[in-house]
Structure 1
């Protein structure tokens, strides 16, 4: 989806450097110092407009959340949601997630979320999918032992591809749902896309996986 340009985005990002962290590579291996506590850190790749990460932070004050979003026009909206909820356990990164090891050390992250990622349906773009094996290698490196990856999507093709990818990589499928909202979970924090698609009656696919030691 094309995002509307926000000419004020650069100024907003500069003014909120305590929330949208500049030069995150400098904090590699030291994110707990930035949060000022020893709570586990969860990472959302592709934060979008921030409804999920702000809601999760409010629901889980004992977990620190980092959201990565490349589009400036989108991350400022996410930042506004975080500021409105006044949740201190969120920071945002306006960076590309193509190599997470630039920003995070081994065993630094306890959980990863992939919410409604771009499916990149064309075969020639397979390597861009966030569940392609080269991304899984990165997740394995930065996750603690026993850390989990949770994926939600409305795209059945991407979901099926991801399940195969997890299986081929030797990951453990802990939970798989082909229609997440059949039994409404009050603890499920919906993203903007999730609300939109589920309201149209589209099934939401979800799985939780982990790397086997």
Structure 2
């Protein structure tokens, strides 16, 4: 969902280059220099307003996290939240998830998160789904050996498509959950904004984790 552009967004992003990166390719292969110390690097593509990636950074200080968002106002909202927490293991990118090979060196990322991505339900738009084979190939390129992709969605169609796409790509499933919030996996689950919204309506949340 598109968010109306806010006048304060661009000045906020420009004022905090220590947290928000607009020219991500300049750090390709050098992302660890953006953090207080070198640790495994996890990436969320499409972080939205940042609730998940900020929550993960707070819960796991032993991991470095990057949240990526293409919409500038949405990215600025996440930035505002992140600045309040002062997390040394969190960095944000305002950029396009389709350019990952330009942003990260091969094997630079340990794990990726795809949370409530646009399902693109029409068949003719299948190539736009973030679990389509061309995207999976780009993920494999930047992930380390046996690097994992974790997906959460409320959309059964996208979930079924993702299972088939990942299986056909030769990925190995570490876990599949058809009702995350009513499973033991939910014990340490960090929710996104969309997840809270859909779960409150009784919508089951689907989750999978797979590696290359």
Common fold: TM-score over 0.5: yes
Residue 190 (structure 2) aligns with:
189
> Unaligned 5+ residue runs, structure 1?
none
Per residue, is there more helix in 1 or in 2?
Answer: 2
Residue 167 (structure 1) aligns with:
167
- Structure 1 position 186, deviation (Å): 2.9
The CA distance in 2 between the partners of 1:123 and 1:85, in whole Å, is 41
Q: How many residue pairs get matched? A: 211
Q: Secondary structure at the match of 1:166?
A: helix
The CA distance in 1 between the partners of 2:16 and 2:38, in whole Å, is 23
Query: What stretches of structure 1 move > 4 A for 4+ residues in a row?
Result: none
CA deviation vs aligned residue, 1:34-91 (integer Å, no higher than 9, x gap): 2142200000000000000000000000100011100011011111121122212111
Aligned: 1:125 with 2:125: yes
When the two chains are superposed, the root-mean-square deviation of aligned CA atoms in Å is: 1.0
The CA distance in 1 between the partners of 2:83 and 2:111, in whole Å, is 23
> Unaligned 5+ residue runs, structure 2?
none
Moved more, 21-30 or 109-118: 21-30
Residue 147 (structure 1) aligns with:
147
Residue 7 (structure 1) aligns with:
7
Q: Normalised by the size of structure 1, how large is the TM-score?
A: 0.96
The CA distance in 2 between the partners of 1:183 and 1:40, in whole Å, is 27
Aligned: 1:207 with 2:212: no
The CA distance in 1 between the partners of 2:122 and 2:179, in whole Å, is 25
Q: Secondary structure at the match of 1:99?
A: helix
